[in-house]
Copies of this chain bind each other. A is one copy, B any other.
Amino acid sequence: MPLTAPLRGVVPPVCTPLDAHGEVDTASLARLAEHLLGGGVHGLFALGSTSEVAYLTDEQRGAALETVVNAVDGRVPVLAGVIDTTTPRVLDHAREAARLGADALVVTAPFYTRTHPREIADHFRRVRQTVDLPLFAYDLPVSVHSKLSPALILELAADGTLAGLKDSSGDEGSLRRLLVALGGRQGRAEGPAPAFSVLTGSELTVDAALLAGVDGVVPGLGNVDPAGYVRLYEAAGASDWPQAAREQERLAGLFAMVDAGPEAEMGRSSSALGAFKAALRLLGVIDCGDTAFPQIQLGAAPVAEVDARLRAAGLTPVR
């Protein structure tokens, strides 16, 4: 579904189910897409960090994106992460994503190398000029190790390079300053970038971000409970802020599953992604909860904790 207006709503970054050999389980992935659409989400973000994009070969990236595009079949927009170290490599992914039918691209600043803001601006501009799809900047300092400044985002919004921002920086103060500079929650439409979409990736403060004026949310936990995030979004839309906060609190309790894996034994990313996938397996959505190599897999005790978190949040495991 082409993006004709600012993207709004709940846009989960879609997990990539793998089979026992580490290959993309396209049947499970199609079921996951259906699970998300059934929850009422407004878009899907394939090949993001939660999709384990950094662990997927080019071939696997293609298989995952193609599966999502086909499963969605135009019902909502599909954003595709085109994540790589620098512009030349990103462009290869971007062309492929366009060929496979993505409706928009999501791009980080260069990483692995030390880059200057002017170089980062040139990077986004080149991607936008080369592949004709709406472009979202992905601000993820925990992975990219630099922060996109509000000034840079404003510049790239004003000149039409960017259609939006996915802010996973965790810097809510900086986000607020950006939103105010964009015109504030009331005045966004009259601002310098009327069609600019600000999405938060901070899944624990979505009520707050919506109150501050973001357009939507890209919640990793939305894989597990898409309907919960949709209810939260709708409560905010109805200005029922206490209800939005209650829903957010329930989701924050559910989110605690990300620490199920013992810190002494595995990375925090492996624990979080493993918990989301374990939850999806317990809910019957996907067949296998494995994360990609070399991530350590969750043992029985962490999976039992995921099960308990699901039940406490009112979700019912089916296995």
Contacts and interface: CB of A to CB of B under 8 A. Distances in A.
A112 B114 contact: no
Interface residues of A, number: 75
A173 B145 contact: no
B113 A202 contact: no
Contacts of A177: 204, 252, 255-256
Nearest to A111: B112
Given A118-B265, A294-B86, A205 B172 contact: yes
Interface in A229-286: 239, 241-242, 244-246, 248-249, 252-253, 255-256, 265-270
A276 to B, nearest CB: 14
A111 B111 contact: yes
B57 A92 contact: yes
A144 B241 CA distance: 35
19 contacts: A54-B85, A55-B86, A58-B89, A83-B112, A86-B293, A87-B294, A88-B293, A116-B267, A116-B296, A118-B296, A119-B266, A170-B170, A173-B204, A176-B248, A185-B245, A208-B212, A211-B244, A213-B245, A239-B241
